[in-house]
Amino acid sequence: MILSASRRTDIPGYYSDWFYNRIKEGFLFVRNPVNMHQVSKIDLSPEVVDCIVFWTKNPAPMLAGLEELKAYPYYFQFTLTGYGTDIERNVPHKKDVVIPVFQDLSKRIGAQRVVWRYDPILFNDKYTPGYHLRAFAQIAGALRGYTNKCVISFVDRYVKNQKRMDALKVYELEETQLSVFAGRLSEIAGENGMEIGSCAENMDLEQCGIKHNSCIDKGLIESLTGSRIKAGKDKNQREACGCLESIDVGIYHTCQSGCAYCYANYSQEEAMVRYGKYDPASPLLCGDIRKEDRVTVRPVKSVKEVQLSFCDIR
């Protein structure tokens, strides 16, 4: 299986002690986000975990313990944008803190395993297309040689973030303007030695030099594992998402970054309440097993294809 840690919250940034404890003990519990009383026990042994994909805005708390992951192939989806604290409330200073952390992580594990995400992109009176192009160019220059790939997306409106988007007076670009903007992003990425792709975008940006991307990336995982991966498209994601199926081990409404565009938190207040229940020693993130919960062992297995095909024979 492929482990996603996590689209629902920033495990490296806020819960790295918990994750390392789970790796040591060899299992964790995760609630079903649709039915909170259904709890799955997930085996974390290297025999069944083919790759771990981390999602984060600041993996600094995780760096000292990377040796704990030596038995696993893994890589990071690292979000680094040009927003200030009006949009990403609790994310550390980008130039002073986050860019150096990105560079340090890349030095430790290699540029292939740190994917830069400049997303989601929103436009308003402050964060104009011109602002984004300047910020993107500055960050790309700082990350040159530290990553091979950049991923972009444009902000989506959800019920959970609609009021925040309205308060920020977010607007959309016309199609022609968006194509020009995307084309310039592609040029800047190329100038800094980076491939650029889009995340779950319905629009076709290929003419701008931006391909549809898979964040849970079959090609990258096969490269890291040295094996072919036999897994299908993740049916739980949006139609435009190209990711492989994975098991997400996070929980919604627990991220402390306080980002205005976030779909994974109802409110920062709710996230703080759940964070108050965090116990690094618990098998369950931000909570305990209650008497009404039903815990079952989730069947998991490796998705590596071990049988050689004719094309593999030399």
pLDDT, tens only, 114-171: 999 999 999 999 999 999 999 999 999 999 999 999 999 998 777 667 888 898 999 9
pLDDT recorded at residue 240: 67
- Whether residue 29 contacts residue 295, with contact meaning beta carbons closer than 8 Å, is answered with yes
Q: How many residues does the chain have?
A: 314
Angle ∠(255,214,207) on CA atoms, nearest 5: 120
pLDDT recorded at residue 194: 97
The predicted-structure confidence for 226-238, as pLDDT tens digits, reads as follows: 999 998 887 777 7
pLDDT recorded at residue 43: 98
* The residue type at 195: E
pLDDT recorded at residue 190: 97
Q: How many domains does the chain have?
A: 1
pLDDT at 277 over 60: yes
Q: Determine the Cα–Cα distance for residues 10 and 12; give it in Å rounded to an integer.
A: 6
pLDDT band at 314 (very low <50, low <70, confident <90, very high): very low
Residues of the chain with pLDDT > 90, as a percent, come to 77
> Can you tell me the mean pLDDT for 72-83?
98
pLDDT recorded at residue 313: 42
Domain of 139? Answer: 2-312
pLDDT band at 312 (very low <50, low <70, confident <90, very high): low
- Whether residue 255 contacts residue 14, with contact meaning beta carbons closer than 8 Å, is answered with yes
Q: Which of 186, 172, 153 is nearest to 263 (CA)?
A: 153
